[in-house]
Structure formats: C-alpha cells, structure tokens
Chains A and B, each alone.
Chain A
Amino acid sequence: MLYNSHQQGLIIERCWLIYELVTDKLVPPDEFHIRYPSLVEFALTAGYFKLLVEIGGSGHSIHIYEEYEFVEYKLVLKAYVYILFDKAKNGIIRADSLPHHRIDYKGHRLAHFPNHLHDEMGRICSFSGRIEDFVRRCCTISE
C-alpha cells in the first residue's frame, strides 16, 4: 500500500470536502452519491482523485483532478486541474497550478502563483488555488 493510515485519513477528509462542495453547491445527479465511494477508493490507492460529473439542469459538468503528496504530516496538492464544461463538453473555465504563467491578462503578477484561472474569454486571471473558490465561480456561471 502506498499510504499509511494517517495519510489515508487525510485523503478521505479531502474527498469529503469535495463531496460536500459538489453536493451542496452544484446539484449532481442521484447516481453520483452511489458511485462516489469508488472514486475515494481510487484516490486512496492511486494518490490522485478524478471526478467528472454533470451539475444542475443546465448540462454543465465539472471535472476535478487532484494529485496528492505528503509533506511532513500534511497533504498538499502536487498538481490539480479543475474545469467547467458546457453541454457540448467545451471548457468554459479552467484552473490549474502549472507554473507557465506569471502575470494575468492585465499584466499584473498572479496573486497566488502558480495557481491561475483561464476565464470564459480564455484570459489568465489570478486564482487562490482553493477548490471552494472554483466551485463558487461555477455556481455563478451555471445558474
């Protein structure tokens, strides 16, 4: 097994946070609740979490990919990509932590480098790196 029980506990907590966010803010279909434990199982063995789920009645879907690593006793995101897709599966907004952008579209330094967001116009914007902020933004778009 790749992870000890403490590390597994941290992954489970992270998965719970994502579950709460998705269910509270984005209205996933009923089968999401049934299949979610298998996604957690995958995360516990693979060290990364992946989710693609339709949200609300608008045909939008959200894609969450997170890769975990452990620094001392803490879980940190080694990499992530969050995407909101439209009905035709075209990306609307995307957040990730690749270090290839240093400034936003206005020429200002990214507030939380390397975290950034590609907005609806494809422009680079500052992003906190917090999944809560991404989900909040998805809510406003998919409403």
Chain B
Amino acid sequence: MKMSKEEFIEKISKLELSQDQTISNISEELQQYEKKYKLRSEIFYKLIAGTPAEDTPDFISWSMCYRSYFRMMQSKFSVEEITAGAL
C-alpha cells in the first residue's frame, strides 16, 4: 500500500545509515560487472568511461557505481586517517 509522505519521512528517519554496508553492496555490484565483462572496474573506468563505448545501459550504470564506490572509499579513509592521527 502506498505510503503517505508523512509515513515515508517517518520510515526514512528511522533508518540506520551504514556506510560499511553500502560499500559492501556496491563492491558486490562492481564484482558482478567485473565477472560479466571480465574486466576490472579500474580498467573499465580508465578505458571506457567518458568514451562513446560507454553508451550501453550496463556501462552507464557501472560508471555510476564505480564513482560512488570511489567517493565512499575516499570519505571513509579520510575519516579513519583523521581518527588514527588523533590517537
């Protein structure tokens, strides 16, 4: 049954956002692409993203997924480095 906006906001506000879980999910998604195309994501991104060869549904999604993974890893490690430095 469709949620009202109030119900939607209430459910969202109860979410426990887990960065580690999301990274794990994105890693799995990347691995599926890597297995399907027998190509590592780093190589795919360097060779194909931004070129006309990217113009397929899978490749567009793979690019987004990889950028997201990269952003999250950068965010995570910068936080950890700061924490390690403080200790």
| Chain A interfacial positions (CB closer than 8 Å to B) | 1-2, 12, 16, 19, 23, 30, 33, 36-37, 40-42, 44-48, 50, 63, 65, 67, 78-79, 81, 83, 91, 94, 96, 98, 100
Contacts and interface: CB of A to CB of B under 8 A. Distances in A.
A45 B11 contact: no
Interface in B39-82: 52, 54-55, 57, 60-61, 63-65, 67-68, 71-72, 75
A40 B63 CA distance: 20
Contact of A46 (B11, B60, B68): B68
A16 B46 CA distance: 34
B17 A98 contact: no
Given A1-B17, A42-B22, A37 B12 contact: yes
Contacts, number: 78
A33 B64 CA distance: 25
B71 A65 contact: no
A40 B75 CA distance: 20
Given A42-B22, A65-B60, A96-B55, 19 more contacts: A1-B17, A1-B19, A19-B8, A23-B2, A33-B3, A37-B8, A37-B11, A40-B12, A41-B15, A44-B17, A45-B19, A45-B21, A46-B26, A47-B68, A63-B57, A67-B64, A79-B64, A81-B57, A81-B61
B10 to A, nearest CB: 10
28 contacts: A1-B17, A2-B72, A2-B75, A12-B12, A16-B5, A16-B8, A36-B3, A40-B15, A41-B17, A42-B25, A44-B12, A44-B17, A45-B19, A45-B72, A46-B22, A46-B72, A48-B65, A48-B68, A78-B64, A79-B60, A79-B64, A81-B61, A81-B64, A91-B57, A98-B55, A98-B60, A100-B52, A100-B54
